Amino acid sequence: MSDQSFHTEAPRRFLFLDAGARPDGNTVQLARLAAESSLPVGAEQRWLRLADHPLPPFQDLRHAGGGSYPEPEGHERTLLEATLAATDLVFVAPLYWYTLPTPAKLYLDHWVGWLRVPGLDFRARTAGATLWGVTVLAGRDGAADPLAGTLRLTAEYMGMRWGGLLLGNGSRPGDVLHDERALVAAKSFFAG
Ligand SMILES: Cc1cc2nc3c(=O)[nH]c(=O)nc-3n(C[C@H](O)[C@H](O)[C@H](O)COP(=O)(O)O)c2cc1C
């Protein structure tokens, strides 16, 4: 038996962050389909609704006092720990005004604080993770360019890999299940 037979890779851990403002909307439905059909074998998945973990307003303390942030508590702590545990971070984010819904944007704003919590090493511990986006919009595809750009540039800034954006079309919940192109893309999305 060769040494290689003992070599097993740690399972990927996908964190799905649902940023939508209604339960079971099109975006979650599309993300669920992609997870069911294209997650790597053995991958773990955790789903969190940002609405269930409301964050306090972000305060810009970068240039106040020593510029450091306190240890996060409460919902912020839950989201921080879930983020640190993930190898793959999936923004399940309906398109709102061409970009991310407010809870997703607020969560990202808090990264600025997490980067400055003494001893946390947020950047080093998240570098190498893969960032993905799943979105559904009612209008034309190009309207999601700002959302795609926000996530892709965030990944670049953080030293993360950009996995890409899965895009669907719909308005009323369930509409996206009639978007053939999105259904086909979902089948292989996380395998790409
Ligand atoms: C606050 C808000 C803003 C929206 N802004 C846009 C937009 O900029 N472009 C667009 O095509 N659709 C827009 N929509 C439509 C949603 O993207 C679409 O209905 C989508 O299905 C919502 O996702 P969900 O079904 O997962 O809740 C908006 C909807 C809401 C509620």
Q: pLDDT per residue over 16-71, tens digit each? A: 999 999 999 999 999 999 999 999 999 999 999 999 999 999 999 999 989 999 99
> Residue 4: is its pLDDT beyond 60?
no
CA dist., res. 79 & res. 76, Å (int):
5
Does the residue 131 lie in any domain?
yes
Domain count for the chain, please give it. Answer: 1
Residue keyed to tokens 């709102």: 96
Query: Has this prediction a pTM greater than 0.85?
Result: yes
The pLDDT of residue 118 is 97
1 pLDDT band, cuts 50/70/90, is very low
Query: Has residue 2 been placed in a domain?
Result: no
Q: Report the share of the chain in percent with pLDDT over 90.
A: 93
Half-sphere exposure of 87 (CA within 13 A, CB side): 11
**Does residue 7 form part of some domain?**
no
pLDDT, residue 7, reads 61
pLDDT in tens, 7-28: 667 899 999 999 999 999 999 9
Q: What is the CATH number of the domain that holds 139?
A: 3.40.50.360
Average pLDDT, integer, range 86-91:
98
Q: Is 166 within a domain?
A: yes
| pLDDT value for 6 | 60
What is the residue range of 17's domain?
Answer: 13-191
Ligand 1 centroid vs 117 CA: distance in angstroms?
34
For residue 170, the ligand 1 atom closest to its alpha carbon is 21
Residue 24: inside a domain: yes
Question: Going by CA atoms, what residue is nearest to atom 29 of ligand 1?
Answer: 96
Say if 93 falls within a structural domain. Answer: yes
C-alpha dihedral, 180 to 96 to 39 to 151, nearest 10°: 120
Ligand 1 pocket: which residues have CB below 6 Å? 20, 22, 25-27, 94-98, 136-139, 143, 170-171, 173
